[in-house]
Amino acid sequence: MGKKRRTFSSKEKSKIALAALQERKTGAELAKEYEVHPNQVSQWKKQAQEGLASLFEDQRKKQRAEAEQSALISRLYEQVGKLQVELEWLKKKTGQL
């Protein structure tokens, strides 16, 4: 019977990633201390580095982009609806319905 796979909470992952970012210990030392594979420590460190930038992004830009996207989606749904109505009308006129 093999070893059971361990799962880590986001709190545990962030603690390990923060320790890796501080670089007081090597990745191998952290891996041994927290009983994880060294590659996992480096992955969590990389994810933390990439995610930090999003913490400081301008929220207004993000909201504006989301509003534009939702407006585009609603226009596209409207256009699809109109095209479906036209298609049904054409089918009815040509006797295909």
Residue 36 lies in a domain: yes
Q: Which domain holds residue 72?
A: 58-97
The Cα-based distances of 63 to 68, 70, 75 in angstroms read 9, 11, 18
Q: Pick the residue with more confidence: 87 or 6?
A: 87
Q: Looking at the structure, tell me whether residues 63 and 91 fall in a common domain.
A: yes
Question: In whole angstroms, what is the distance from residue 54 CA to residue 57 CA?
Answer: 5
Which tens digits make up the pLDDT trace of 6-62?
Answer: 899 999 999 999 999 999 999 999 999 999 999 999 999 999 999 888 888 778 888
CA distance 35 to 6: 10
Same domain (yes/no): 76, 50: no
**Of 30, 34, 10, 32, nearest to 22 (Cα)?**
30
